[in-house]
Amino acid sequence: MIHDDVEEVLLTDAQIRTRVAELGAQLSQDFDGRDPVLVSVLKGSIIFLADLVRAMEIPLSVDLMEVSSYGASTESSGQVRILKDLSRPIEGRHVVVVEDIIDTGLTLNYLLRYLRDKGPASLGICCLLDKPARRLAPIEIDYRGFTIPDRFVIGYGLDYDERYRNLPYIGVLRPSVYGASAAPE
């Protein structure tokens, strides 16, 4: 069972549900009458996005992007690439980037530069998890679910080697799964 690989539950299903509802209500209030576009980054954010938009009661659009990750792409171009671009223009639109987790901020830093060039009316950031310990790129987060310690987390969309996305909670991966006897804290 996938639950056996979880060392500790960091955020329960109920805690996440409550916070996502609060974020949805806040976004609904702030973007009322502005018809925002929520842009989510595949794949980790999909479950958060699905729950977040259902917690919002205003007209909105959803779009998805996918950006290559360092480890998976080191053999190819050596530079980050857009694997899936926006399906519609965002010029003049109010855009909220929905992220599952912000760690170093390098991916989001690249993505924000890319999206700014598309001329949105505004560009906000909503993330479920903020892990500031290793932040390199300065990211101004407008809507934050939880600030978490520097642990390797899985579940609720977040994976390790493409697994554990279906856990209903956020958990800390047992170090033995990735071959260590102690957590990298």
Partner 1 sequence: MAARLTDGSPRFAHQSEAELARILDFYQVAWRYEPDLFPISWNADGAVVESFAPDFYLPEIDLYVELTTLKQALVRKKNRKLRWLRQLYPEIRVKLFYARDFNALMLKYGRLDFLADVAAMNGNGPLNEPAP
Instruction: Just list the catalytic residues.
Output: 103
3-state DSSP assignment of residue 155? strand
Cα diameter, the chain: 53
Interaction between residue 136 and partner 1 (CB under 8 A): yes
Positions in 70-109 near partner 1 (CB under 8 A): 70-74, 78-80, 103-104, 106-107, 109
CA gyration radius for the chain?
17
CB of 117 to partner 1, least distance (A): 10
Q: How far apart are CA 48 and CA 85, in angstroms?
A: 20
Interaction between residue 166 and partner 1 (CB under 8 A): no
User: Alpha helix locations (H) across the chain?
Assistant: 13-30, 46-54, 70-73, 106-116
CB of 72 to partner 1, least distance (A): 7
Considering beta carbons, is residue 92 or 119 the nearer one to partner 1? 119
Interaction between residue 122 and partner 1 (CB under 8 A): no
The answer for residues whose C-beta is within 8 angstroms of residue 123's C-beta and 6 or more apart is: 95, 96, 97, 112, 115, 116
CB of 64 to partner 1, least distance (A): 20
Binding interface with partner 1 (CB under 8 A): 69-74, 78-80, 103-104, 106-107, 109-110, 133-138, 150, 152, 161, 175, 178-182, 184-185
